[in-house]
Amino acid sequence: MKALSILLLLSALPVLAAEPFTGTWKMDMANAKFSQKPFKLELKDGTYRCPSCDPPITVKADGMDQAVSGVPGIDTVSARIVDDHTVEITDKKAGKVTSHLKLTTSADGKSVTGEFTDYPQSSDKPVTGTYTMKRAGGAMAGMHAISGSWVMDKAENVSENALIATFEQTADSLKMTQATGEHYDAKLDGKEYPYGGSRGTDKVVLKRIGARGIEETDKLGAKVVATTQMTVSADGRTITMVVHEHNGEVSTFVFNKQ
């Protein structure tokens, strides 16, 4: 009987090894490496501009909802000047708030802190957190303190519902679910499959990259939103994700198995 038990265990090992993504994983924010591509903001003469947004956004900074087009998941933006160092940005879709962001520049003008609340499309629990950006280049004369080029430094206090992902892998497919409501169930065959629960993504394409890797391409309509190379470590304890955004930003995140 003991020999039979050993044989059964050994016969299961190849199956387990072929499914390295299966499990629940949590992003390690302390080891996140954010893109260092500068992000531009401008606020002058009562007008707020985000040249780095896709598409670029320009609205009056009067706190009123103003129509925007071509921005995934939103149809109005409001910008409100709180004081010489602080601005609040609120996005809405059909009158419902989708995100709120408070940007506060440090006294020396060398950094800006963003306090955000995002409301997922398929969950009643918001995603919250803060991030810090460092100034790239000098301050812009005659403009509000948030104006200029910034690069991401770090993110902190991010709510757990944004950090947890669960994967179920088979020999030819991968299923993903998140507490925010985002999900997919797709074959690893390079074809398009539905991506649910997101305002910015509606299709996913998956393909293998080596024995322990998968490449995920997220799309909105015909447009590629991002491509991510996901690789499970040899010991099976971490997933490293290298995210290539369509605008040229590249960031790296590490997820630890729970």
Decide if 79 contacts 89 (C-beta within 8 A). Answer: yes
pLDDT digits (tens, 9 = 90+) for 94-107: 999 999 999 999 99
On whether the CB atoms of residues 258 and 240 are closer than 8 A, the answer is no
Which pLDDT value is given to residue 139?
Answer: 85
What is the rounded CA–CA span in Å between residue 145 and residue 114?
Answer: 14
Q: What is the pLDDT of residue 176?
A: 98
Per-residue pLDDT, averaged over 116-126, amounts to: 94
Residue pointed to by tokens 């995100």: 99
Residue 16 has pLDDT above 90, yes or no: no
How would residue 24 be classed by pLDDT, with cut points 50, 70 and 90?
very high
| Average pLDDT over every residue of 176-187 | 97
Better-scored residue on pLDDT, 16 or 64: 64
* pLDDT tops 70 at residue 8: no
For residue 32, name the pLDDT band (cuts at 50, 70, 90). Answer: very high
CA distance 67 to 77: 7
Dihedral angle computed from the Cα positions of residues 27, 115, 80 and 95, in that order, rounded to the nearest 10 degrees:
50
Set out the domains of the chain in order of their start, with CATH numbers.
19-34+162-257 (2.40.128.20), 39-160 (no CATH)
Question: In the predicted model, is pLDDT for residue 7 greater than 80?
Answer: no
